Amino acid sequence: MKRLAFIAAAGVVFMAAGPAAALAPPARMQVGATEFNFGLSRHTIKAGRALIELANYGEDPHDLRLRRIGGTKIWGTRVVAPEDTAVLSAKLSVGRYRLWCSIADHRSKGMSALLTVHR
């Protein structure tokens, strides 16, 4: 509410140029990391903007990498210390995505998961 008051006081006018879907909030999900597992708060999200939080509940540092199966672009977070979080922001298209921890041998020990992005 304060933000709207500030915008109105500043004389700023906002006009939506596209469909209402362009103003939709981003999909949100959390990936909980432990040794050596990823737990997803959801396994499917809607295509478009996404905010994916990596929460490190483990005792070792972890990171998060994300790539569409068949794609080449890789999104990632910084290395996250125990009891810390990082947020990955991406615009995702429809498809299946592989998530993994790229630190040492964490991926081969089980730190990977699948995410489905739908319309």
**Looking at residue 26, what DSSP letter applies?**
P
Domains of the chain with CATH codes: 24-118 (2.60.40.420)
CA distance 7 to 11: 6
Gyration radius of the chain's alpha carbons: 17
- What predicted TM-score, i.e. pTM, was given to this entire model? 0.80
CA distance 48 to 28: 11
- pLDDT tens by residue, 23-56: 789 999 999 999 999 999 999 999 999 999 999 9
